[in-house]
Amino acid sequence: MDRPKLLASLLPALLLLAGCQGLKTENYSETLKQPLSADGQDTLSIQISLDYPVKGAPEEALAAMTRNIATVAFDQEADLPTIDEMARRYEEQLTDQYFDENASLKGKAEAGALSWEDNINGYFSGRYKKFDVYVIEYYSDRGGAHGMNSLTPIVFSRETGEIVPESFFFTNGYQARIAPLLQEALRKDFLESPETYDALFKKDITPNGCYDVGKNGVTWYYQPYEIGPYYLGVISVTLPWSAVKEFIR
């Protein structure tokens, strides 16, 4: 079956920007619109905007950061050399999936019900000591009642450009000792909104690996439905450095 012609071109934009307090970044962006049929309203829409570093750290570290940004953003192995190539593979795979799942439903669903949307937005959000923090924001809609937002922080070593997992940042056994501190901080965050706290379906939160670091401390992020209902969005809980300093390597 021939697919309809691509409506919007893939437009990589390389814009030199002031980066994260010393890092200089460029931006890679692309937009894709792929209709399910030439005469229909159902469309696959993809928007990508990813900042990546070009100055402000050792060259090898900059290359590693860029590779890791693309790997996380597109949930792929780092077996292609550029963001552009990894983005195009992601787009091709998602387009194939879109047609595989929806082509047979054309004409059997309400107009627009088979539209999909994927937005990926990545940027450096801050730096703390020898770490640079990157954030990837996702929005995904598969034609359901609502789309899904999520947020993935990445803590980079500025020396190597490699991702610093939570388990490498803290000493062994940190989970059990930090968990009660997180739970108390969560409760305090909702003191002025007890009905919202009651709406959480998981209050005994623990470190989940989705963290970042900054001048105010260490922040953990919990995605929609992870500990609370969808309408609460991404929930963040911050512990000050004074509370976690004894657990840091």
Mind listing the pLDDT tens digit of every residue in the chain (249 residues)?
444 434 443 334 433 343 445 799 999 999 999 999 887 789 999 999 999 999 999 999 999 999 999 999 999 887 888 899 999 999 999 999 999 999 888 877 777 789 999 999 999 999 999 999 999 999 999 987 789 999 999 999 999 999 999 999 999 999 999 999 999 999 999 999 999 999 999 999 999 999 999 999 999 999 999 999 999 999 999 999 999 999 998
Angle at 203 between CA 144 and CA 199, to 5 degrees: 50
pLDDT of residue 21: 54
**Structural domains in the chain (count):** 2
Q: Which domain holds residue 207?
A: 167-247
- Both 93 and 178 in one domain: the answer is no
Q: Do residue 148 and residue 210 come from a single domain? A: no
Query: For residue 85, which amino acid is it?
Result: E
Same domain, 43 and 55: yes
Is 10 within the bounds of a domain? no
Say if residue 156 is in the same domain as residue 200: no
19 and 137, same domain (yes or no): yes
> Considering the domain boundaries, does residue 113 fall inside one?
yes
Last residue of a domain, one of 149, 164, 179: 164
pLDDT value of position 119: 98
Q: 116 is written with which tokens? A: 């999909």
Within 13 A of 9's CA, how many CA atoms are on the CB side? Answer: 3
